[in-house]
Amino acid sequence: MAAFGQDDHVRIYGRDFASRLLKAGFFVEIEQFAKEFSDNEIAMYGFLPHEDIYVCTNR
């Protein structure tokens, strides 16, 4: 918990996350996954409406 500020498996990353992935050698696409769903579906599935999904592939 001391290292990540929480006791579960979820990590909270900074705004530099995409640039850190790029620096590590990945091609990064940022998707706003929840925009594909209605408000009812977002609530039903427990999505975070403004959460970005980072899709990484090797260059």
Alpha helices, DSSP H only, in the chain? Answer: 17-23, 39-45
**For residue range 27-46, what is the model confidence (pLDDT) as tens digits?**
999 999 899 999 999 999 99
**Residue 56 tokens, joined:** 């990484």
In a domain, 9, yes or no: no
Q: Residue 6's pLDDT is what?
A: 63
The span from the CA of 34 to the CA of 20, in Å, is 24
Q: Residue 38's pLDDT is what?
A: 95
Domains held by the chain: number:
1
In a domain, 8, yes or no: no
Q: Residue 15's pLDDT is what?
A: 87
Beta strands in the chain (DSSP E): 26-31, 53-58
Query: What is the value of pTM for the model shown?
Result: 0.63
Q: Residue 11's pLDDT is what?
A: 72
Q: Residue 4's pLDDT is what?
A: 58
pLDDT exceeds 70 at position 3: no
The span from the CA of 59 to the CA of 40, in Å, is 37
In a domain, 29, yes or no: yes
